[in-house]
Amino acid sequence: MNAQTIIAKRIALELRSGMLVNLGIGIPTLVANYVPAGMDVYFQSENGLIGTGPVPEEGFAHPKLTDAGGKAVSALPGACTFDSAVSFGLIRGGHVDMTVLGGLQVDAAGLLANWMIPGKMVPGMGGAMDLVTGAKRVVVAMQHTARGKPKIIPKCNLPLTSARPVDLIVTEMAVLALADGHLKLMEIAPGVSVEQVLAATEAELEVPADVPVMPIR
């Protein structure tokens, strides 16, 4: 499995029937491909859609059916569309059970930076600020390093997305959770050692005596 598949499959295990879940652009969109069999989850896109399904097969994409990043999505039976005011009312009103977002950096306190790199052109923050602030649970889906440099660091040096810390970080190497204001190593990926995770992480981690392997196949 490649890094993105490992991340998406592991996050899919956090889903529960009946959840309203927002998937950000990039790796998070892949989570919809791995919903456990028999589970009914409602995926929301902040541009105004509930009921998004897996990424459509080649030739089956509809030009007017996209996620918030403009990428093609499918719609499941019973899906509904609405305007941005309703969509952000759901988010800001605390009705989204879980959001899955990409990340540029996460620091030792669980604070996320994911919307811009100073000096580079950005289209805008999108819904990230609202989602991190308003969703009941915030999960970050990102690769552990970027060009060999750790992305989980003592303190973010990129602009923060929100003053609220995230709940869970899933990378291709590990699962980390925020526990009592600090990061705790919960799981390691198949074939990855605790020592490798620590070497690729600048932030201090709490490491239990026994760290299980991600239950993915």
Which domains are assigned to the chain? 3-200 (3.40.1080.10)
Provide the pLDDT for residue 108.
Answer: 97
In this prediction the pTM is 0.93
Q: For 63-203, where are the alpha helices, taking DSSP H only?
A: 84-92, 128-134, 194-199
The 10s digit of each residue's pLDDT in 105-140 is: 999 999 999 988 777 766 666 789 999 999 999 999
| Max Cα–Cα distance, the chain, nearest Å | 51
State the Cα–Cα distance between residues 150 and 63, nearest whole angstrom: 37
- Residue 186 confidence (pLDDT) above 70: yes
Provide the pLDDT for residue 131.
Answer: 96
Contacts of 124 (CB under 8 A, 6+ apart): none
Task: Quote the DSSP letter at residue 124.
Answer: -
Laid out side by side, the sheet with 138-141 consists of 74-81, 49-53, 42-45, 20-23, 98-101, 138-141, 168-170, 174-179, 182-188, 205-206
The 10s digit of each residue's pLDDT in 27-65 is: 998 998 899 889 999 999 888 999 988 788 888 888 888
Contacts of 55 (CB under 8 A, 6+ apart): 29, 30, 32, 33, 71, 72, 73, 74
Instruction: Verify whether residue 46 is a known catalytic residue.
Output: yes
State the Cα–Cα distance between residues 11 and 139, nearest whole angstrom: 8
Which residue of the set 14, 46, 172, 195 is catalytic? 46
Provide the pLDDT for residue 80.
Answer: 94
Provide the pLDDT for residue 211.
Answer: 97
The structure tokens 């956090």 sit at 14
The 10s digit of each residue's pLDDT in 62-111 is: 888 888 778 888 888 999 999 999 999 999 999 999 999 999 999 999 99
Backbone angles phi, psi at 60, to 5 degrees: -110, 5
Backbone angles phi, psi at 169, to 5 degrees: -125, 125
Provide the pLDDT for residue 125.
Answer: 67
State the Cα–Cα distance between residues 150 and 130, nearest whole angstrom: 26
Provide the pLDDT for residue 126.
Answer: 73
Provide the pLDDT for residue 124.
Answer: 66
The structure tokens 């969109």 sit at 29
The 10s digit of each residue's pLDDT in 131-166 is: 999 999 999 999 999 999 999 999 999 999 999 999
